[in-house]
């Protein structure tokens, strides 16, 4: 009973925006012509779902999420194993590895855009020139891959950190038992370490997915969704619907579609990897 006010507040906090979004999604409501808002039923949904940009951005979203998940886990495991080794200055190295996570997405995207990936004055271009190779215009030639690199760089510390703490909780005696049983470094990794990491990997996948479905700042700052639709994901598409085309109704419909997509993804993720979390 005493929890009622808190629960009620949280409920209102959640239900009001949702109710408004649903309401707007059923209106033809353009900011340039807000006087003529009128009820149109599910027209906005039909428009949004049949828009070619929707399928392209859905595909971009899934590619972005999948690639970043793969990169951060595949690189995070060896990195965590490395940081688990006793070396001098380990704490400082750990701090430095974790640092990218504390950089604001906008800032890190600008750093990547102007200092690293710039086709004329960027570090990568300079390195390419050293070897006599032509410099890559990252955001025109491989825009989605460039975004994937930036986002992976931001999320790698998170994956590494979770995996590192898991590694530190691995019982030393288990590794010694495996050693006595004749398991080499590779066998110990496959049969002892990797199964031990199954659960933290699941946690990384679930948490990262939630945030990666809504990547926005990196795209906004670097490519603005282009060229064409090559780096437009669902979040960016909704933004452009609302604040570039001023179509509040369409954007609201898109937002609701995004909620449904997120739930579908979450449902399958929990089915596939969530079993690890039981027991």
Partner 1 sequence: MGQITLQNVQKSFGPVHIIKGADLDISDGSFVVFVGPSGCGKTTLLRLIAGLEDVSGGNILIDGKNVVDVPPAKRGLSMVFQSYALYPHMSVRGNIAFGLKMAGLPKAEINRKVEAAAATLNLTPYLDRKPRELSGGQRQRVAIGRAIVREPKAFLFDEPLSNLDAALRVQMRLEVTRLQKQLGTTAIYVTHDQVEAMTMADKIVVLNGGKIEQYGTPLELYEKPANLFVAGFIGSPKMNFISGEVAGRHDAATIGVRPEHLKIARDGEGWPGSIMVAEHLGSDTFLYVDAGAIGTLTARHVGELDLSAGDRVLLSPDPGRLHRFDESGKSLRA
User: Looking at beta carbons only, is 114 or 165 nearer to partner 1?
Assistant: 165
The window from 90-98, 154-162, 168-176, 241-249 that contacts partner 1 (CB under 8 A) reads: 168-176
Q: Nearest distance from residue 186's CB to partner 1, in Å?
A: 11
Q: Mention every residue, 6+ apart, whose C-beta is less than 8 A from residue 275.
A: none
Helix ranges (DSSP H) in 87-122: 90-98, 105-111
Q: Nearest distance from residue 279's CB to partner 1, in Å?
A: 8
User: Looking at beta carbons only, is 141 or 176 nearer to partner 1?
Assistant: 176
User: Looking at beta carbons only, is 35 or 173 nearer to partner 1?
Assistant: 173
Cis peptide before 227 (omega within 30 of 0): yes
| Listed residue (178, 190, 181) closest to 81, CA to CA | 190
User: Looking at beta carbons only, is 7 or 88 nearer to partner 1?
Assistant: 88
Is 190 a binding residue for partner 1 by CB under 8 A? The answer is no
The window from 38-46, 55-63, 91-99, 190-198 that contacts partner 1 (CB under 8 A) reads: 190-198
| Greatest C-alpha distance within the chain | 79
Taking the C-alpha atoms of residue 8 and residue 6, their distance in angstroms, rounded to an integer, is: 5
The window from 18-26, 175-183, 204-212, 213-221 that contacts partner 1 (CB under 8 A) reads: 175-183
User: Looking at beta carbons only, is 195 or 228 nearer to partner 1?
Assistant: 195
Site size for partner 1 (CB under 8 A): 18
- In three state form, how does the secondary structure of 129-147 look? HHCCCCCCCHHHHCHHHHH
Q: Nearest distance from residue 167's CB to partner 1, in Å?
A: 15
Is 174 a binding residue for partner 1 by CB under 8 A? The answer is yes
Q: Which of 62, 110, 136, 183 binds partner 1 (CB under 8 A)?
A: 183
User: Looking at beta carbons only, is 94 or 199 nearer to partner 1?
Assistant: 199
Q: Which of 187, 228, 263, 270 binds partner 1 (CB under 8 A)?
A: 187
Q: Which of 39, 42, 191, 267 binds partner 1 (CB under 8 A)?
A: 191
Q: Which of 2, 4, 32, 173 binds partner 1 (CB under 8 A)?
A: 173
The gap from C-alpha 29 to its chain's centroid, in whole angstroms, comes to 31
- The DSSP element (H or E) to which 49 belongs, if any, is helix 43-50
Taking the C-alpha atoms of residue 261 and residue 243, their distance in angstroms, rounded to an integer, is: 22
Q: Mention every residue, 6+ apart, whose C-beta is less than 8 A from residue 273.
A: 201, 202, 205, 206
205, exposed or middle or buried, with CB in 10 Å at 0-12, 13-18, 19+? buried
Backbone angles phi, psi at 245, to 5 degrees: -100, -5
Which residues are at the interface with partner 1 (CB under 8 A)? 171, 173-174, 176-183, 187, 191-192, 195-196, 198, 279
């Amino acid at each position: 009973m005493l929890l009622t006010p808190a629960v009620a507040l949280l409920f209102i906090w959640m239900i009001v925006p949702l109710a408004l979004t649903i309401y707007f999604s059923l209106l033809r409501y353009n900011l340039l012509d807000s006087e003529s808002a009128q009820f149109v039923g599910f027209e906005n949904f039909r428009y949004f779902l049949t828009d070619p940009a929707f399928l392209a951005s859905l595909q971009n979203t899934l590619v972005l999420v999948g690639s970043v998940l793969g990169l951060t886990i595949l690189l995070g495991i060896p990195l965590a194993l490395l940081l688990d080794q006793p070396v001098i200055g380990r704490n400082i190295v750990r701090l430095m590895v974790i640092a990218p996570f504390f950089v604001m997405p906008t800032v890190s995207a600008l750093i990547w855009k102007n200092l690293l990936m710039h086709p004329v004055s960027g570090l990568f271009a300079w390195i390419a020139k050293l070897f006599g190779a032509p410099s890559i215009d990252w955001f025109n030639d491989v825009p989605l891959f460039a975004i994937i690199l930036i986002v992976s760089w931001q999320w790698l510390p998170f994956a590494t950190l979770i995996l590192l703490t898991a590694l530190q909780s691995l019982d030393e005696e288990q590794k010694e038992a495996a050693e006595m049983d004749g398991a080499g470094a590779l066998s110990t990794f496959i049969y002892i370490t990797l199964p031990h990491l199954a659960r933290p990997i699941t946690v990384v996948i679930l948490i990262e997915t939630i945030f990666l479905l809504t990547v926005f700042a990196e795209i906004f700052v670097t490519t603005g969704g282009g060229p064409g639709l090559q780096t437009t994901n669902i979040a960016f598409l909704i933004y452009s619907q609302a604040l570039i085309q001023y179509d509040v109704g369409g954007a609201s419909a898109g937002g609701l579609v995004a909620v449904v997509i997120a739930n579908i993804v979450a449902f399958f993720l929990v089915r596939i990897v969530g079993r690890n979390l039981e027991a």
